[in-house]
């Protein structure tokens, strides 16, 4: 009979050895996994009446994890997408367990076999040209932070950088002049160069001259001179959206997030005939298939494609009632 596995030891090994040393996971990934296991440990403590330091691996079986996932949805109000992200972190831990504690492989396999939950994909949200212009007019150009915000929003809409890439930009990452571009560090520690249009490059040049930072300083600093946080970025976007909605009422019908600005850049590239493989490279997507979401979202693109097709000469057939068995099957 196997001795109970020391869950705290295995979890510490998973974070220090697997995530930090072997995978060199990003701080964002580590924080996400940490939050998952913090929630799981608190739930196990409540249900099993055990201190976290005394939990054994056998306590975290597929039944308890299934109940934990239900708890996330029903009690904490998490979406199916968030629930699946938590399950992905737990699976990663149990793959580590199966590799280093083979005597507990059966337990690990039962957890690894737990399915993700299917969920409804929300349509991609993006801004049209009038909405973009209203948003860029919203910051006050007479103030320093108004000029910072206008430059930030213009760069976000033109380059499609992720929020983390945008707030992580350093002065050394901006290359102006011929072949102007930004060097950014994306998911998976991949580096890419994103071209700058002349108008965005001009705004960045003026802002950096005013900003006067050292090479390692953030391009878009907060009031203390440090990099903006995700919350600060969301706040400044929401503030300028309030102003822009007075000028462009259609913005009031849209939920605009920093990621929506990324979608806006992608849809602009698509509308201008840029190949989706180039769009994938531009945005730093792992796979070209990721850009299919923009093809599905663009109704005008679909309508232009339909306009190139020819209507058929087939006339509608006369309705005939189905056989009783077929009617039953069709009604299922």
The string of DSSP letters for 208-277 reads HHHH---TTSBSSB-TTSSBPPHHHHHHHHHHHHHHHHHH-GGGGGS---HHHHHHHHHHHHHHTT--HH
**Which domains occur in the chain, in start order?**
7-112 (1.10.150), 129-307 (1.10.443.10)
Residue 310 has, within 13 A of its CA and on its CB side, a CA count of 3
pLDDT of residue 175: 92
State residue 12 phi and psi, 5-degree precision: -65, -40
pLDDT of residue 245: 94
> Under 8 Å CB-to-CB from 295, ≥6 apart: which residues?
270, 276, 301
pLDDT of residue 2: 46
- Res 5 pLDDT > 80: no
Beta strands in the chain (DSSP E): 174-175, 181-185, 191-195
Answer with the residue of higher pLDDT: 253 or 276. 253
Q: What percent of the chain has pLDDT over 70?
A: 81
pLDDT of residue 1: 42
For residues 148-164, average pLDDT: 93
Q: How far is CA 227 from the centre of its chain?
A: 20
Q: What is the chain's Cα-based Rg?
A: 26
**Residue pair 59/40 in contact by the 8 Å Cβ criterion:** no
Contacts from 193-197 at CB under 8 Å and sequence distance 24+? 194/159, 194/160, 194/161, 194/282, 196/155, 196/158, 196/159, 197/158
Q: Tell me which residues are annotated as active site.
A: 162, 187, 259, 262, 285, 294
> Under 8 Å CB-to-CB from 50, ≥6 apart: which residues?
44, 59
* Range with the poorest average pLDDT among 38-42, 179-183, 252-256, 315-319: 315-319
Helix (H, G, I), strand (E, B) or coil at 189: helix
Quick: pLDDT tens for 223-267. Answer: 999 999 988 999 999 999 999 999 999 998 888 989 899 888 888
**Residue pair 279/269 in contact by the 8 Å Cβ criterion:** yes
Residue 235 has, within 13 A of its CA and on its CB side, a CA count of 6
For residues 38-56, average pLDDT: 92
* DSSP code at position 315: P
> Under 8 Å CB-to-CB from 104, ≥6 apart: which residues?
2, 5, 57, 58, 97, 98
pLDDT of residue 305: 47
pLDDT of residue 3: 46
- Whole-structure pTM value: 0.65
pLDDT of residue 293: 58
pLDDT of residue 295: 53
**Residue pair 180/199 in contact by the 8 Å Cβ criterion:** no
């Amino acid at each position: 009979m196997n001795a109970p596995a020391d869950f705290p030891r295995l979890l510490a090994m998973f974070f220090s050895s697997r995530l930090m040393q072997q995978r060199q996971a990003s701080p964002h990934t580590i924080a996400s996994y940490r939050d998952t296991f913090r929630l799981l440990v608190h739930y196990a403590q409540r249900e099993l009446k055990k201190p976290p330091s005394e939990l054994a691996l056998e306590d975290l079986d597929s039944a308890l994890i299934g109940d934990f996932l239900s708890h996330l949805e029903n009690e904490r109000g998490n979406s199916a997408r968030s629930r699946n992200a938590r399950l992905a972190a737990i699976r990663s831990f149990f793959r580590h367990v199966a590799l280093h504690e083979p005597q507990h492989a059966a337990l690990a396999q039962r957890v690894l076999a737990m399915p993700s939950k299917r969920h409804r994909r929300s349509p991609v949200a993006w801004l049209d040209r009038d909405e973009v212009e209203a948003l860029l007019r919203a910051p006050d150009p007479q103030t320093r932070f108004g000029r910072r915000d206008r430059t930030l929003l213009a760069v976000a809409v033109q380059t499609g950088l992720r929020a983390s890439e945008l707030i992580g930009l350093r002065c050394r990452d901006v290359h102006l002049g011929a072949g102007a571009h930004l060097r950014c560090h994306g998911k998976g520690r991949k580096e890419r160069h994103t071209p700058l249009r002349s108008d965005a490059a001009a705004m960045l040049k003026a802002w950096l001259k005013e900003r006067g930072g050292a090479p390692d300083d953030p391009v878009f600093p907060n009031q203390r001179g440090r990099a903006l946080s995700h919350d600060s970025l969301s706040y400044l976007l929401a503030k300028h959206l309030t102003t822009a909605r007075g000028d462009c009422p259609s913005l009031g019908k849209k939920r605009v997030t920093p990621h929506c600005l990324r979608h806006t850049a992608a849809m602009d590239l698509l509308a201008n005939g840029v190949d989706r493989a180039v769009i994938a490279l531009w945005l730093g997507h792992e796979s070209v298939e990721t850009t299919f979401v923009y093809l599905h979202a663009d109704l005008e693109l679909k309508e232009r494609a339909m306009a190139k097709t020819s209507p058929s000469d087939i006339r509608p057939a006369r309705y005939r009632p189905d056989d009783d068995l077929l009617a039953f099957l069709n009604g299922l």
